[in-house]
Amino acid sequence: MNSPILESTLTCPLCGHAKRETMPSEACQFLYECENCKAMLRPKAGDCCVYCSYGSVKCPPKQDQPGCCD
């Protein structure tokens, strides 16, 4: 198994602002505040965290699941 990718670029769906962030490796992040428009982002229905919804890379716990990110 490969090591999970720990960096992801989050893109705000409201204003389009993108920022590269380091993801927590042992947990999912449920809330994220856009530094540009101050919107509080929450995961889309069915996603475990904001990285799975708005990031360029899914969160480390999701990457560890079989079949993810192939």
Q: For position 62, what pLDDT does the model report?
A: 85
Q: Is the dihedral of CA 11, 65, 67, 1 positive or negative?
A: positive
The model carries a pTM of: 0.85
Residue 6 and residue 25 in contact, taking contact as beta carbons nearer than 8 Å: yes
Q: For position 55, what pLDDT does the model report?
A: 96
Q: Give residue-wise pLDDT tens across range 12-40.
A: 999 999 999 999 888 789 999 999 999 99
Round the average pLDDT of the chain to a whole number and report it.
90
pLDDT surpasses 70 at 69: no
